[in-house]
Structure 1
Amino acid sequence: MTAHPARIGALIAAQRQAQRTRLRIAAAGGAIVAVAATCLLGLSGWFITGAAIAGVAGSAAVQTFNYLMPSATIRLLAILRTAARYIERVAGHEAALKALARLRPQLFDALASAPPAQALALSSGEASARLVQDVDAVQTLFVRLSAPWALGAGAVSAALLAGMASPLAGPMLLLAMGVSGIGAVVIGRRLAAPAGRDVQIATGDLKDRLAALEAVSPELKAYGLGRWAASEATQAAAALDRAQIALTQAGGWMAAWQTVATALAVAAVIPATFGADLPMTALAALAAVTGIESAAGLVGALQQNGAAVEAARRLDALASEPDLRRTQVPADASLALTFDEARLEPPLRLGLIGPSGSGKTTLVERLVGLRDALPDEARLGGLDIADIAPGDRRRLFAYAAQDVRLIDGTIRDNLLLAGPADEETLWRALEDAALVERVRTDPAGLDARVGPNGERLSGGERRRLGLARAYLRPAPWLVLDEPTEGLDAATEALVLTALDRRLKQANQGLILVSHRPAPTRLCDRVMRVEGLSVGGAVRLTSARELTPA
């Protein structure tokens, strides 16, 4: 098989090592299956032909023909083949499934720890395709490991059986098997490999398209774009269908070549047994058939190789090297932030205002490590934030984003993403987010399900649930992006009163982004975001006086 990329290859190699006992059992089972199948068919051919000749020769020949030993051996080989096949399948698939069960968390961890520009650029549909479809395709790198052993054992046993009829028959069979293998490799590389790669890519594109359309389904319905959306999904599905058809056709060509190779092997072996008894000729011919068939596992692996290699490449891009920056904010260092020469330290409250698109959200996302920070844009604890690994920065901030993302679980599940907390603490956070009454009226309480991305909640409820989650994270700085957007005036007043109380109790600093005047009245200092400079840095100016919108 083609070598897979280095990083994902290292993970696969580690899992192969961990599952080596099961893989060895599967390989041994595959070898036994090949030997048993070859001997079974060859012996059956010899036995049937010999019995037929004995029957034609008359009753005296029939009486002297020993049918007990061959028939008993045939039954033994049949049982051995069935048992070995079962052991091979169970051991091989168990090894693959256990390995994949360990690979997925490792890949998810690699994605979560990747640089922000990479981790956040991957859509949910594409991430799903890679963690599900691509990992499943890698399964062949485990299951098919027994194929070379089966091929080797089948080739040797078939050549030995053919050699019993004639010394020339064995080498002729091995030559035919070599030609068969070369042809299968050529077809696999030219037809199956490109088709397999296209299948993996088209699957990711389809899942990405469907996820994107599903995310905006209310807007599609509101604007009557259902047919357009169906057309978009159909085009992506058609591309996948074409790739799958091409892969199936490649499999058909490989099967056709195997048939041709079998005919060639038989045609090469039978003349080589000239002068041998007819039963031995039948044994050699059927040994040739099973010798070619022993390569079926390897041919199947060649058909799936393109998909497996492409999947490994895509997963390798997912399993990127973690951020190697190790500059940490010392525990005893000041938690002061410095923006545009303005020094800010908890419990100071900073408000960021400015027109839409000026860079307010960009600035806070760079600060908390959700975007790559620019050099000299801000300092934290006296250090340039661009020199601090995003993971080391994130622990200093509790963040409620403007676009709230919720998992398809319960209210409790979504709150506990912030970290462990007892039930009393959860209820207190909900109360401060003005959401407690909504949760208490639900019969399931904290265990009420929110649906995919919180679809069972209103927009304001989703925002307040995200706010409650940020309250649960102990951090020196609380960062809120439009925390009261979409709330009525009464609910906004409740939220801001509770926020003011929490900040005083926790002695926590606040960075608040808002277009509304009420939230910024809580702030000690307000700065206006003027936009991005030529180098991409955010421009800030002081805004001492606020004019209500």
Structure 2
Amino acid sequence: MSGRSTGRVAALIATQRQAQRRRLRLAAAAGAVVSVAAVGLLGLSGWFITGAAFAGAAGGLAVQSFNYLTPSAIIRLLAILRTGARYIERVAGHEAALKALARLRPQLFQALASAPPERALALSSGDASARLVQDVDAVQTLFVRLSAPWALGAGVAASVLLAAMATPLAALVLLGAMGLTWGGAAVIARRRAEPAGRAAQAAVALLKDRLAALEAVAPELKAYALDGWAAQQVAEAAAVRDRALIDQAQAGGWMAAWQAGVTGLAVAAVVPATHGAPLPLTALAALAAVMGLESLAGLIGALHQNGAAAEAQDRLDDLLPDEAPRVRAAPRDKTMRLDALATDLSPPVRLGLFGASGAGKTTLVERLIGLRTAPEGEARLGCIDIADLAPDARRALFAYAAQDVRLIEGTIRQNLILAGPADEAAMWRALDDAALAQRVRADPLGLDAPVGVNGERLSGGERRRLGLARAYLRDAPWLVLDEPTEGLDAATEAQVLAALTRRLSERGQGLILVSHRLPPMAACDIRLRIEGVDADGRVRMTRQAEPAPAEA
């Protein structure tokens, strides 16, 4: 149905189809009943009305002998069957689709999280949202429309059978009209609907990406009076989206017009083809032709949506490369060796990294913990080169507080438990050690106080300390802190560092600390100056005997 049969997303969709096969089969069976009932209802109604008219014109005796009870009962039965089956088809089909998508999104997110980090982290928030929400929604048609072929087959069989009751020629004419309708709709879909659907899907994603990017810098845009420029950027993206959606709608209109035109020609051709048959059967054949061609609507609708569904699958497949590192399990040995050191480092050693801005301190840390792809030979975890370790295997060894703290739009509690399960006592201890507990206790909601979008209700220092408290809650042999005291006053910095030293001693945890400030570096046993990144991508570093200057 989508025009795409390979790729990891196609495999995930096939798995969910198998998991939802009972509901999909029920929807298909109900769709077939709908088509048969609809064709029979209209055809029999036409025969009944025409027959009753002729009986009335023939006089009272004919009226008395005309059996109107049985056709009336059958018509009522068909109407009930059509209504009930339509309800079952919609409920079963959409329930299967929604349940499949509910399982598909976590699978996609998990696959994305375990993919090479440069692929996942290169996505903007708007693009990631568009793919995991909008693109997944677009493949819903691959489930909902699975009943369409069954409905079509049943409708074709029923309508051709009824037309054949008039004359075999009428049935052949109807079959030809159905083939013509499908062929023309397929051509229109391939030339207009599919390109327009793909363009519309990509344009909607571009608009979401643009909106998310501009929303993230809204305060700066207001400060520099760039609101109008931002609105123009959004308007341009929206115009591209609108043009694509208009093209897609026009393609759907051409397909509907083609179906309607062929339906009219089919009726005009079927009526003469019933020459010699009783007029009630002529009416039956003509109306059966109308409903038989109407049964194509489901597949034509699927053709109309195929472009968007195929584009969505392509975009989701781009998220999920098939490549994978050779070693996926975290090493049991917690030792670490960097290129510049001749000895292995094991917890509770404390390693400090300093250097000029942009030299590669954060780059080295992110490579260690699996947020960037590492070159071969730069570092080892246990006896394994980190280049051979899957990102999730590396991350299991580290608790990380980034320099740029990211918070979810939720409560303090919800942001803390991202590190893993923890009771309230552990949360308060972590907040105490991050010098943030007093601020949280002052809020009437305490741990359930909301932080706003990306922590907008907190100051920069509070956001950084909340990120530090979150890292404290993660049970890992190494604690990695990137500029943990940046932006803090001297008293708060001293409080945080004293609690950090105490916590490390109590837990026997190793420390990797990135800082350009002297107080944090003074707590480190080993110090490395980061010199820069070589042409081959490896970070250059040299060991230092003394702490770095205050602004190294």
TM-score by length of 1: 0.97
Rounded Cα–Cα distance in structure 1 between residues aligned with 2:240 and 2:72: 53
Shift of residue 101, structure 1, vs aligned partner = 0.8
Residue 534 (structure 2) pairs with residue 548 (structure 1):
no
Q: Deviation string for 1:213-249 (max 9, x for gaps)?
A: 1111111111111111111111111111111111110
Name the residue aligned to 1:201.
Answer: 202
Q: What amino acid sits opposite 1:6 in the alignment? A: G
Report how far residue 267 of structure 1 moved.
Answer: 2.1
Deviation readout 1:6-52 (Å, 9 max, x if unpaired): 21111111111111111111111111111111111111111111222
1:446 corresponds in structure 2 to: 447
Q: Which residue of 1 aligns with 2:406?
A: 405
- Give distance in 1, aligned partners of 2:484 and 2:236: 39
More moved, 366-375 vs 379-388: 379-388
Partner SS state of residue 504, structure 1 = helix
Q: Is the 8 A contact 1:480 1:513 kept in 2?
A: yes
Report deviation, 1:143: 0.7
The residue type paired with residue 547 of structure 1 is P
Partner of 2:102: 101
Instruction: For residues 461-484 of structure 1, give each alpha carbon's deviation from its aligned partner in whole angstroms, at most 9, with x where no partner exists.
Output: 000000011111122221110101
* 1:436 correspondence with 2:437: yes
Cα distance, 1:102 vs. partner? 0.8
Equivalent residues of 1:340, 1:378 under 8 A apart: no
Q: Which segment is superposed worse, 471-480 or 60-69? A: 60-69
1:383 is displaced (CA, Å) by 2.7
Q: Where in structure 2 are there 5+ consecutive unaligned residues?
A: none
Q: How large is the Cα RMSD of the aligned pairs?
A: 1.4
Please give the secondary structure, in 2, of the residue aligned with 1:168.
helix
SS at structure 2 position matched to 1:135: helix
Q: What letter is aligned with 1:136?
A: D
Counterpart CA distance in 1 for 2:383 and 2:277 is: 92
- Local SS of the residue matching 1:475: coil
Return the alpha-carbon distance in structure 2 between the equivalents of residues 539 and 94 of structure 1.
Answer: 56
Deviation sequence 1:261-292 (CA, Å, 0-9, x none): 10121122111111111111111111111110
* 1:138 Cα deviation from its structure 2 partner: 0.7
Is 1:336–1:346's contact at 8 Å kept on the other side of the alignment? Answer: no
Deviation at 1:508, TM superposition (A): 1.9
Contact 1:4–1:312 (CA under 8 A) maintained in structure 2: no
Q: Which residue of 2 aligns with 1:79?
A: 80
Aligned-residue offset at 1:328? 4.7
Letter in 2 for 1:548: A
Displacement of 1:543: 2.9
Q: Distance in 1 between matches of 2:232 and 2:108?
A: 33
After superposition, give the CA deviation of every residue in 1:317-349 in whole Å (9 maximum; x if it has no partner).
223336342265642x36132331343332222
SS of the counterpart of 2:537? coil
C-alpha separation between the residues in 2 aligned to 1:243 and 1:253? 15
How do 1:145-160 residues align onto structure 2 when only pairs under 5 Å count? 145-160=146-161
Q: 1:213 to 1:4 in 2, by over 3 A?
A: farther
Provide the rounded CA distance (Å) in 1 between the counterparts of 2:260 and 2:336.
75
State the match for 1:314 in structure 2: 315
Structure 2: how far apart are the matches of 1:492 and 1:323? 41
Name 1:527's counterpart in structure 2: 528
Question: What amino acid is the match of 1:502?
Answer: R
Query: What is the alpha-carbon distance in structure 2 between the residues aligned to residue 73 and residue 345 of structure 1?
Result: 83
With 348-357 and 51-60 compared, the bigger mean Cα shift is at 51-60
Aligned to 1:289: 290
Shift of 1:125: 0.9
In structure 1, give the amino acid aligned to 2:46. Answer: G
1:47-101: CA deviations, max 9, x gaps? 1112222223333332222222212211111111111111111111111111111
Asked if 1:39 is matched to 2:43, the reply is no
Partner residue of 2:90? 89
Pairwise CA distance, 1:486 = 1.1
Q: Which letter maps to 2:165? A: M
Letter of the 1:396 counterpart: L
Kindly report which structure 2 residues correspond to 1:237-248, keeping only aligned pairs within 5 A, or say none.
Answer: 237-248=238-249
Does residue 458 of structure 2 align to residue 457 of structure 1? yes
Aligned to 2:305: 304
Specify the alignment match of 1:21 in structure 2: 22
Q: Distance in 2 between matches of 1:495 and 1:470?
A: 13
- Residue type at the aligned position of 2:377: D
Q: Specify the alignment match of 2:485 in structure 1.
A: 484
Q: Give aligned-pair identity as a percent.
A: 70
**Distance across 1 between alignment mates of 2:67 and 2:380:** 93
**SS state at 1:379 partner:** strand
Does residue 120 of structure 1 match 2:121? yes
CA distance in 2, matches of 1:409, 1:291: 54
Deviation at 1:518? Answer: 1.7
Q: Give the Cα–Cα distance (whole angstroms) in 1 for the partners of residues 26 and 549 of structure 2.
A: 76
Aligned with 1:290: secondary structure? Answer: helix
- Number of matched pairs: 548
Equivalence for 1:500: 501
Whole-angstrom CA distance in 2 between matches of 1:316 and 1:496 = 45
Tell me the distance in 1 between the aligned counterparts of 2:283 and 2:329.
77
- State the TM-score, normalized to the length of structure 2: 0.97
Opposite residue 549 of structure 2, the aligned amino acid is T
3-state SS of 2:267 partner: helix
Q: Is the 8 A contact 1:137 1:307 kept in 2?
A: yes
Q: Corresponding residue for 1:276?
A: 277
Mean CA deviation greater in 531-540 or 342-351: 342-351
The 1-side partners of 2:317 and 2:384 are apart by 33
- Distance of aligned partners of 1:48 and 1:329 in 2 relative to their CA distance in 1, 3 Å threshold: closer
* Further displaced range: 378-387 or 138-147: 378-387
